[in-house]
Amino acid sequence: MLPTITLPPIVAEASPHAHMRFLEFFAANIRNPHTRSAYAKAALDYLSWCHGHGVRNLADIPPIHVVAWIDTLGQSLAAPSVKQRLAAIRHLFDWLVTGQVIATHPAASVRGPSHRARTGRTPVLEAQEARTLLDAIDISTPAGLHDRALIGLMILQFCARRGGAGDKAGGCVRAGTAAMAAPA
């Protein structure tokens, strides 16, 4: 079921073709309901922001307005959130250009804030924790042997990636019969 989407003032004042194309963007182009909801919120926020800054026509939105909105968002939101909203606006304007509602794409040349995840959020499994996990698996059944082999392989893969990524805590060490993450 599609959520009810209120037309922002700029779209409401446009042609019936623009109304339909705007609504089709959310109904036909975006299948995931969570993405649809996030993109609808971003589009409504942006187009209402434009209307509040004196823009009355979709065709009159310049890239500088997109940049100003992105800069405003950057003051209160994290870079990934700003990038998601910019992606929503880019996709919307691409859809409107393709549908011949507007001639140019005002967000195409706008760059979002830079963001690079420098550290992962995945907790590191220490060597003793890995050993305890492996030892806790009942290996008297085929399922237990399977589970232990699979988890051991995952630990080994983690060690290989961790060691190859230049991590200062570094790689793997052999402890008993299984590879373990080196203690930090």
Tokens 């961790």 sit on residue: 162
For residue range 136-181, what is the model confidence (pLDDT) as tens digits? Answer: 999 999 999 999 999 988 888 877 766 654 444 444 554 444 444 4
Q: How confident is the model at residue 103 (pLDDT cuts 50, 70, 90)?
A: very high
Contact between 170 and 176 (Cβ < 8 Å): no
pLDDT single digits (tens) 49-67: 999 999 999 999 999 999 9
Task: Give the H/E segment covering residue 171.
Answer: none
Q: In this structure, are residues 8 and 48 in contact, taking their beta carbons and an 8 Å threshold?
A: yes
pLDDT at 12 over 80: yes
Question: What one-character DSSP code corresponds to residue 122?
Answer: S
At 53 the pLDDT is: 94
Q: What is the mean pLDDT of residues 75-97?
A: 95
d(CA 10, CA 55): 8
Q: Two tokens at 8?
A: 């922002």
Confidence category of residue 22, pLDDT binned at 50, 70, 90:
very high
Report field, pTM of the whole predicted structure over 0.85: no
User: How far apart, in Å, are the Cα atoms of 178 and each of 135, 158, 184?
Assistant: 11, 13, 18
The 8 Å CB, 24+ separation contacts for 12-20 are 13/56, 13/57, 14/57, 14/58, 14/101, 15/101, 17/99, 17/101, 18/58, 18/96, 18/101
Q: What is the amino acid identity at position 14?
A: A
